[in-house]
Amino acid sequence: MERVFLSFGFQFARQVGSHRAYTRAGISRPVVPTRHDVPVSIILSNLKTAGISMEKYLEILDSL
Protein backbone atom coordinates (compact mmCIF):
# COMPACT_ATOMS: atom_id res chain seq x y z
CA MET A 1 0.00 0.00 0.00
CA GLU A 2 2.78 2.42 0.87
CA ARG A 3 4.36 2.19 -2.58
CA VAL A 4 0.99 2.68 -4.28
CA PHE A 5 0.18 5.83 -2.31
CA LEU A 6 3.68 7.25 -2.77
CA SER A 7 3.44 6.68 -6.53
CA PHE A 8 0.05 8.43 -6.53
CA GLY A 9 1.56 11.62 -5.08
CA PHE A 10 1.05 11.09 -1.35
CA GLN A 11 3.79 12.04 1.07
CA PHE A 12 4.69 10.49 4.39
CA ALA A 13 3.33 12.75 7.15
CA ARG A 14 3.87 10.95 10.46
CA GLN A 15 4.05 7.63 12.25
CA VAL A 16 2.47 6.56 15.53
CA GLY A 17 3.32 2.98 16.45
CA SER A 18 2.68 0.78 13.43
CA HIS A 19 0.42 3.35 11.72
CA ARG A 20 2.03 5.40 8.98
CA ALA A 21 0.00 8.36 7.75
CA TYR A 22 0.24 9.77 4.23
CA THR A 23 -1.27 13.01 2.96
CA ARG A 24 -1.83 14.77 -0.32
CA ALA A 25 -3.20 18.21 -1.12
CA GLY A 26 -6.97 18.11 -1.50
CA ILE A 27 -7.46 14.96 0.59
CA SER A 28 -9.51 15.64 3.71
CA ARG A 29 -7.73 13.15 5.98
CA PRO A 30 -4.56 11.07 5.87
CA VAL A 31 -4.54 7.59 4.39
CA VAL A 32 -3.06 5.11 6.84
CA PRO A 33 -1.75 1.71 5.71
CA THR A 34 -1.38 -0.14 9.02
CA ARG A 35 0.61 -3.31 8.28
CA HIS A 36 2.10 -5.54 5.59
CA ASP A 37 -1.01 -7.73 5.21
CA VAL A 38 -3.63 -5.03 4.87
CA PRO A 39 -7.21 -6.37 4.92
CA VAL A 40 -9.28 -5.76 1.77
CA SER A 41 -11.75 -3.62 3.73
CA ILE A 42 -8.97 -1.20 4.74
CA ILE A 43 -7.60 -1.10 1.18
CA LEU A 44 -11.04 -0.24 -0.18
CA SER A 45 -11.61 2.40 2.50
CA ASN A 46 -8.22 4.01 1.82
CA LEU A 47 -8.80 3.98 -1.94
CA LYS A 48 -12.17 5.68 -1.46
CA THR A 49 -10.64 8.32 0.84
CA ALA A 50 -7.76 8.89 -1.58
CA GLY A 51 -10.05 9.14 -4.61
CA ILE A 52 -8.27 6.24 -6.35
CA SER A 53 -10.36 3.84 -8.42
CA MET A 54 -9.79 0.10 -8.19
CA GLU A 55 -8.71 0.13 -11.85
CA LYS A 56 -6.08 2.80 -11.17
CA TYR A 57 -4.91 0.93 -8.06
CA LEU A 58 -4.42 -2.29 -10.08
CA GLU A 59 -2.67 -0.33 -12.84
CA ILE A 60 -0.24 1.14 -10.30
CA LEU A 61 0.36 -2.30 -8.76
CA ASP A 62 1.19 -3.70 -12.19
CA SER A 63 3.75 -0.95 -12.81
CA LEU A 64 5.59 -1.45 -9.50
The pLDDT of residue 58: 92
The pLDDT of residue 37: 83
The pLDDT of residue 18: 81
SS (H, E, C) 4-49: HHHHCCCEEEEEECCEEEEECCCCCCCECCCCCCCCHHHHHHHHHH
- Domain layout of the chain by residue ranges: 2-63
Average pLDDT estimate for 54-59: 92
pLDDT value at 53 more than 90: yes
Nearest to 46 by CA among 35, 62, 63, 30: 30
Prediction pTM value: 0.77
The string of pLDDT tens digits covering residues 7-40 is 888 999 988 888 888 889 988 787 777 777 888 8
CATH classification code of 2-63:
3.30.920.30
